[in-house]
Amino acid sequence: AVDVATFGETMAALRADGPIRLGGTMRLSIAGAESNVAIGLARLGHRVRWVGLVGGDETGELVLRTLRAEGVDIGHARVDERGPTGLILFERRLGDVVRVSYHRAGSAASFLSADDVRPALEPPPRLLHVTGITPALGPGPASAVRAAAQSGVRVCLDVNYRGRLWDRDRAAAALRPLVPSLSVVVASDDELALVAPPSATTERDRVAALLDAGVAEVVIKRGAAGASGHTLHSHVDVPARRVRVVDVVGAGDAFVAGYLSGLLDHLDLTGRLDRAVSTGAFAVASPGDWEGLPTRADLELLDAQPGSTLR
Ligand code: ATP
Considering 73, 253, 274, 289, which one is annotated as catalytic? Answer: 253
By residue range, what is the domain housing residue 284?
4-8+32-52+113-295
**Measuring CA to CA, which residue among 154, 173, 216, 189 is closest to residue 3?**
154
Q: Is residue 273 part of a domain?
A: yes
> Is ligand 1 within 6 A of the CB of residue 258?
no
Q: Is residue 302 part of a domain?
A: no
Are 128 and 156 spatial neighbours (Cβ–Cβ below 8 Å)? yes
Query: Residue length, the chain?
Result: 311
Q: Is residue 224 part of a domain?
A: yes
> Is ligand 1 within 6 A of the CB of residue 248?
yes
Rounded to the nearest angstrom, the distance between the alpha carbon of 80 and the centre of ligand 1 is: 33
Q: Is 253 a catalytic residue?
A: yes
Is the confidence at residue 68, as pLDDT, over 80? yes
Rounded to the nearest angstrom, the distance between the alpha carbon of 187 and the centre of ligand 1 is: 11
Rounded to the nearest angstrom, the distance between the alpha carbon of 85 and the centre of ligand 1 is: 27
Section 228-241 average pLDDT? 97
Rounded to the nearest angstrom, the distance between the alpha carbon of 16 and the centre of ligand 1 is: 21
Q: Is residue 194 part of a domain?
A: yes
Per-residue confidence (pLDDT) for residue 168, from 0 to 100: 98
Per-residue confidence (pLDDT) for residue 97, from 0 to 100: 78
Q: Is residue 300 part of a domain?
A: no
Give the 3-state secondary structure of the chain: CCCEEEECCCEEEEEECCCHHHCCCCEEEEECHHHHHHHHHHHCCCCEEEECEECCCHHHHHHHHHHHHCCCECCCCEECCCCCCCEEEEEEECCCEEEEEEECCCCHHHHCCHHHHHHHHCCCCCEEEEECCHHHHCHHHHHHHHHHHCCCCCEEEECCCCCCCCCHHHHHHHHHHHHHHCCEEEEECCCHHHCCCCCCCCHHHHHHHHHHCCCCEEEEECHHHCEEEECCCCEEEECCCCCCCCCCCCHHHHHHHHHHHHHHCCCCHHHHHHHHHHHHHHHHHCCCCCCCCCCCHHHHHHHCCCCCCCC
Which CATH number covers residue 192? 3.40.1190.20
Q: How many domains does the chain have?
A: 1
d(CA 293, CA 260): 14
> Is ligand 1 within 6 A of the CB of residue 118?
no
C-alpha torsion sign, points 245, 162, 176, 8: negative
% of residues, the chain, pLDDT over 70: 100
> Is ligand 1 within 6 A of the CB of residue 243?
yes
Per-residue confidence (pLDDT) for residue 310, from 0 to 100: 78
% of residues, the chain, pLDDT over 90: 91
> Is ligand 1 within 6 A of the CB of residue 41?
no
Q: Is residue 133 part of a domain?
A: yes
d(CA 157, CA 113): 18
Are 42 and 70 spatial neighbours (Cβ–Cβ below 8 Å)? yes
Are 59 and 85 spatial neighbours (Cβ–Cβ below 8 Å)? yes
Q: Is residue 97 part of a domain?
A: no
**Measuring CA to CA, which residue among 152, 86, 159, 157 is closest to residue 123?**
152
- For the stretch 23-43, pLDDT in tens is 999 999 999 999 999 999 999
Q: In testing the pocket of ligand 1, which one of 221, 238, 275, 278 has its CB within 8 Å of the most ligand atoms?
A: 221
Residue nearest to atom 25 of ligand 1 (CA): 224
Rounded to the nearest angstrom, the distance between the alpha carbon of 189 and the centre of ligand 1 is: 12
- For the stretch 111-149, pLDDT in tens is 999 999 999 999 999 999 999 999 999 999 999 999 999
Q: Is residue 182 part of a domain?
A: yes
